[in-house]
Amino acid sequence: MVLTQNCLKFLKKGLVIKSTGSWYLVKDTNGNKYECRIRGKLRLDGIKSTNPIIVGDNVEFEIEDIEKNIGLIKNLCERKNYIIRKATNLSKRTHIIAANVDHAYLIVTIALPETSTEFIDRFLVSAEAYRIPVSLIFNKIDIFLKEHLEYMHKLVEIYEKIGYKCFEVSALNNINIDILRNKMKGKVNVVAGHSGVGKSTLINIIAPNAKLKVGELSEYHLKGKHTTTFAEMIEFNSGGYIIDTPGIKGFGVIDMEKEELYHFFPEIFKISKKCFYYNCTHIHEPNCAVLKAVENGNISISRYNSYLNLFHKEDNKHRI
Ligand code: GDP
Ligand code: ZN
């Protein structure tokens, strides 16, 4: 069959799996990949963003050159969620990192380096605010000493009680990686963590085609420069994606009112319904059910401290 020019102009549906800011790699439903550009104006629901289209976006595109696999993005489909950060410190514009994320994972290490509970809780709060299901991956269990393991088990107990699934793994020694790979199967997953926690090692073992450089301190090099980094989706054989977010430890900046912060601590939110005052901040009010729960151990002190620290942040903006 000879394809006429008209046939080529039909819109195809595709998933953006890579973005450089000027062109986008789009995968169609048959798995074919096209290098696409944007022409014309895309309607973007009032999002002020430096980058209109990002990895994870579902788009409609038309083929411009079928031999060279070149296309043109015409429409952006509605996003179920997206994660953002500010473009630069001075700018009010945001830089969107990824869209349509099914699950977020934070890699945590108890030692080398130590991840603080406050950092964990901030990450969880932002995932809740973005409405992205989130789990914790405790990596490097192969080198943890007895006291590290004890501390890790305490944290696992705290977080699983709230409802956050925890995975105890060693990316280096391939311990419990299968469980994780299975969980990530068929989903768009975001993986984040402090530099050095083993993110590259973990992504490489789950998705061997990723071939990320281990031990490369790219995040340090990027700091201070106005380099815009673009996320990439890494596909793994069993069917699923990991979005690697270079230069990003966490989730960016979320603007929220102090008063609504507790909505994103699920265990605090649940108990808060029993507080005497409907507008209780759970800090000083009499007959506060949250304070009572902290006292009797139903809410962990470290979680409550994270709540207080975030609450008292001056500008209400929680840089993660
Ligand atoms: P990233 O900065 O988070 O991407 O971390 P890398 O993957 O580059 O790993 C940082 C260092 O931690 C490297 O020396 C890795 O070999 C090491 N590492 C990663 N995962 C593990 C693990 O499960 N156990 C141990 N012992 N070391 C690990
Ligand atoms: Zn209260």
Mark whether 229 and 282 lie in a shared domain. Answer: no
The CA distance from 109 to 141, in Å, is 8
- Domain housing 144: 82-244
What residues pack around ion ligand 2 (CB closer than 5 A)? 275, 280, 282, 288, 290
Quick: pLDDT tens for 198-242.
Answer: 999 999 999 988 877 777 544 444 443 334 466 789 998 878 999
Picking from 24, 58, 76, the residue at the C-terminal end of a domain is: 76
Count of domains for the chain: 3
The residue to mutate among 105, 139, 180, 214, having the most atoms of ligand 1 within 8 angstroms of its beta carbon, is 214
Mark whether 33 and 162 lie in a shared domain. Answer: no
- Residue 37, domain CATH: 2.40.50.140
Quick: pLDDT tens for 265-293.
Answer: 999 999 999 999 999 999 999 999 999 99
**Domain contains 280:** yes
Pair of tokens at residue 235:
């596909």
Q: Parallel, antiparallel, or unpaired for β 240-244 and 188-193?
A: parallel
Top-confidence residue, 83 or 316: 83
The residue to mutate among 172, 173, 199, 219, having the most atoms of ligand 1 within 8 angstroms of its beta carbon, is 172
Collapsing DSSP to helix, strand or coil, 151 comes out as: helix
The pLDDT value recorded for residue 5 is 46
Picking from 76, 103, 128, the residue at the C-terminal end of a domain is: 76
The CA distance from 181 to 29, in Å, is 23
- 193 CA closest ligand 1 atom index: 3
Pair of tokens at residue 305:
């401290």
**Domain contains 122:** yes
Mark whether 190 and 62 lie in a shared domain. Answer: no
Q: How far is the CA of 293 from the centre of ligand 1 (A)?
A: 38
**Domain contains 4:** no
The CA distance from 292 to 77, in Å, is 46
- Ligand 1 neighbours (beta carbon < 6 A): 139-140, 142-143, 170-172, 193, 195-201, 214-215
Q: How far is the CA of 147 from the centre of ligand 1 (A)?
A: 20
The pLDDT value recorded for residue 93 is 64
**Domain contains 189:** yes
**Domain contains 319:** no
- Residue 218, domain CATH: 3.40.50.300
- Average pLDDT of the chain, as a whole number: 85
Top-confidence residue, 88 or 215: 215
Mark whether 143 and 158 lie in a shared domain. Answer: yes
Mark whether 24 and 141 lie in a shared domain. Answer: no
The pLDDT value recorded for residue 80 is 93
